[in-house]
Amino acid sequence: MTVWQLVIKEITRRKLNFASGLIAVTLAVAVLGGSMTILKLHDLRTGRIVAEKEKETKARMTVLEDDYRKIMKNLGFNLLIFPEGQRLSDFYAEDAVSAYMPETYATRLAEAKIVTIRHLLPTLEEKVRWPETKRTIILIGTRGEVPSLFRDAREPILVAVPKGRAVIGHQLAQDLGLKPGDRITLFGRAFTVSQCNEERGSKDDISLWIDLAQAQEMLNKQGRINAILALKCICAGNELALVRRDVAAVLPGVQVIEQGSKVLTRAEARDRAAREAADAIAAEVHNRRQLRDEQERVSAILVPLVLLVSALWIGLVFYTNVRERRSEIGILRALGARSATILGLFLTKALLMGLIGAVAGYIAGVLVGVSRQGGVIFALLEPRLMLLVLTSAVVLAVAASWVPAYYAAQQDPAEVLREE
């Protein structure tokens, strides 16, 4: 009779003994497999949550950026392009512009493939005496933004003022009691007030905007402008030196001034949207990591404890089995069975117990893990995980049964039969 036949007969005869050891192995494997399943499913779910969060945040950030863009649009332009010969000391001290350049300069910039600036607005600005009201005002002529041939159309920062219309600064409108629809006379020409601006706390409050061509005629500056307003793109590496280099390549000699506070505000607004998106994802990842750490700490205590208890349990089961089979062992030894054969009988039983317990425990652990975390069972049938569980179960069963099996193999048959 072979070793396997003897083991099968032993199991069928002492079912309760085998079932008791099998339960111990199954419990140990279930705890090990369940803990690993829970952690794996947690990682998979974290990946899905973060991916969904990134998608959701990207959509939200697009909306935020659009909102910020609309808000920041009200800040106006952040670059001033002046003609060659303009004294910046006069501009800084008195906000006075005294040099001029061709209006076609704005068109040349718009047609150039410059990516560092956009929203080009040619203007003619001059401080004048408004004879009809005997007030000093800033007269600004604008034709609206020059469209670029190489960029998608964007909503303009400042729309054109139609001919025969005028936009009035807050202080002028308040002092003169003007409102939209009123008629005014400027240098003998009639204009209709199309808009009265809100208070801005700057020179805009005493400014008056009209069509560029009409302003050029009034000031005898046909085809001339004295500034081009532009918007510097807020992007990595876009320094003022780079903007000046790009502009100088198209319009040699012109001067480029950056209004730093507006640039900073615009950049901070966009950065804030980006930070909000990154912070939301980081917070989700942090929370998921904390939860995983807690689960790992529980597993680090529970798994070794259960393995130890199971090993002691299996060892006790085999020790009891050895005591019950003393007479059988003595007879086998008397019939010529070697110690290795006796040892093989018990270890084969332990091996079979480990294999069956591994399968049952793995299935139970996976089911528990799936019930707690949610997931697809078939995605967890990984060869490495199954091999680890199988190996652990066999090693546990064989190691726990080794001492009782070795004790059984070393018994003297004559002494055993004499006692019986």
- Residue scoring higher pLDDT (301 or 215): 215
Q: Are 102 and 83 contacting, i.e. CB atoms less than 8 angstroms apart? A: no
Whether the per-residue pLDDT at 64 is higher than 50: the answer is: yes
Task: Determine what percent of the chain is predicted with pLDDT higher than 70.
Answer: 75
Phi, psi values for residue 128, rounded to 5° = -135, 165
Mean pLDDT of the chain: 77
* pLDDT greater than 60 at residue 265: no
Q: Clarify whether residues 169 and 217 are in a common domain.
A: yes
Q: Does the residue 64 lie in any domain?
A: no
Spatial contact of 350 and 401, defined as CB atoms under 8 Å apart: yes
Mean pLDDT of 262-266: 48
Q: Give alpha helix (H) positions in 74-84.
A: none
CB 171 within 8 A of CB 180: no
Give the Cα separation of 295 and 377 in Å (integer).
20
Q: Which of 19, 17, 7 lies closest to 349, judged by CA?
A: 7
Contact assessment for residue 379 and residue 327, using Cβ atoms and an 8 Å cutoff: no
Residue where one domain finishes, among candidates 258, 283, 310:
258
Does the structure show a pLDDT above 90 at 170?
A: yes
What angle separates helix 15-73 from helix 3-13, to the nearest 10 degrees?
A: 90
Q: Are 24 and 360 in contact (CB under 8 A)?
A: no
pTM listed for this prediction: 0.48
The answer on 201 and 347 residing in a single domain is: no
Q: What is the DSSP string of 257-282?
A: EE-HHHHHHHHHHHHHHHHHHHHHHH
Residue 377 CB neighbour total at 10 angstroms: 12
Q: How far apart are CA 343 and CA 347, in angstroms?
A: 6
Indicate if 142 and 234 belong to the same structural domain.
yes
Per the domain annotation, does 265 fall within a domain? no
Residue 66 in any domain: the answer is: no
Please check the confidence at residue 263 and state whether its pLDDT lies above 50. Answer: no
* pLDDT for 191: 96
Judge whether 72 lies within some domain. Answer: no
Q: Which tokens go with 370? A: 């799936």
Residue 209 lies in a domain: yes
- Average pLDDT on 349-356 reads 84
Domain shared by 246 and 350, yes or no: no
User: Are both 246 and 355 inside the same structural domain?
Assistant: no
- Residue 261's pLDDT band, with cuts at 50, 70 and 90, is very low
pLDDT tens, position by position, 293-325: 877 787 778 778 888 888 888 888 877 877 776
The closest of 77, 167, 168, 161 to 118, measured between CA atoms, is 77
pLDDT tens figures, 220-229: 999 999 888 8
Indicate whether 101 and 39 sit together in one domain.
no
Amino acid (1-letter code) at residue 138 = I
How distant, in Å, are the alpha carbons of 161, 191, 218, 230 from that of 182? 16, 8, 21, 31
* Final residue before a domain boundary, out of 192, 226, 258: 258
Q: Are 399 and 311 in contact (CB under 8 A)?
A: yes
| One domain for residues 117 and 177 | yes
CA neighbor of 142 nearest in space, from 77, 233, 232: 77
Domain co-membership, 13 together with 129: no
Amino acid at 220: N
What is the crossing angle of helices 339-373 and 260-324, to 10°? Answer: 140
The pLDDT score that the predictor gives to residue 294 is: 78
CA distance 382 to 390: 12
Query: Residue 240 contacts by C-beta under 8 Å, 6 or more apart in sequence?
Result: 232, 256, 258
Q: How confident is the model at residue 148 (pLDDT cuts 50, 70, 90)?
A: low
Instruction: Report the pLDDT value the prediction gives residue 131, as an integer from 0 to 100.
Output: 93
Whether 231 shows a pLDDT value over 70: the answer reads yes
Tell me what pLDDT residue 418 has: 55
In the chain, the number of structural domains is 2
* DSSP assignments along 123-140, one per residue: EEEEEEEETTTTEEEEEE
Instruction: Say if residue 250 is in the same domain as residue 136.
Output: yes
If we measure between CA atoms, which residue out of 348, 370, 283 comes closest to residue 41? 370
The last residue of one of the domains, among 258, 290, 309, is: 258
Neighbours of 253 (CB within 10 A): 9
Assigned domain for 68 exists: no
Cα distances (angstroms) measured from residue 346 to each of 4, 6, 9, 309, 395: 10, 10, 13, 20, 14
Please state, in angstroms and rounded to a whole number, the distance separating the CA atoms of residues 24 and 313: 7
Write down the pLDDT at residue 71: 46
Express each pLDDT in 366-398 by its tens digit. 777 777 655 555 445 567 777 877 788 888 888
For residue 113, being part of any structural domain is answered with: yes
Task: Report CA-CA distances (Å) from 411 to 6, 107, 157, 232.
Answer: 19, 106, 99, 93
Domain encompassing residue 381:
3-59+275-419
pLDDT at 270 over 60: no
Residue 79: closest CA among 139, 140, 121, 142: 121
**Which pLDDT belongs to residue 87?**
80
User: Distance of CA 184 to CAs 172, 189, 319, Å?
Assistant: 12, 8, 112
pLDDT 10s digits, 317-336:
877 877 776 667 667 666 66
- On whether both 91 and 172 belong to a single domain, the answer is yes
Task: Report the half-sphere exposure of 1 (CA within 13 A, side-chain side).
Answer: 11
339-373 and 326-334 helices, crossing angle to 10°: 140
Of 298 and 203, the structure prediction assigns the larger pLDDT to 203
Query: Can you read off the two tokens belonging to residue 369?
Result: 């893990």
Residue 103 confidence (pLDDT): 92
* Rounded CA separation 397/179 (Å): 94
pLDDT at residue 31, rounded to an integer: 83
Residues 323 and 182 in one domain: no
Residues 129 and 228 both lie in one domain: yes
Q: What is the model's pLDDT at position 225?
A: 92
Element housing 403 (H / E)? helix 383-409
Quick check: is 401 in a domain? yes
Q: For 76-135, how does the pLDDT look when each residue is reduced to its tens digit (9 = 90+)? A: 567 888 888 888 777 666 666 778 999 999 888 888 877 777 778 898 988 899 999 999
**In this structure, which amino acid lies at residue 65?**
E
212 close to 92: Cβ distance less than 8 angstroms: no
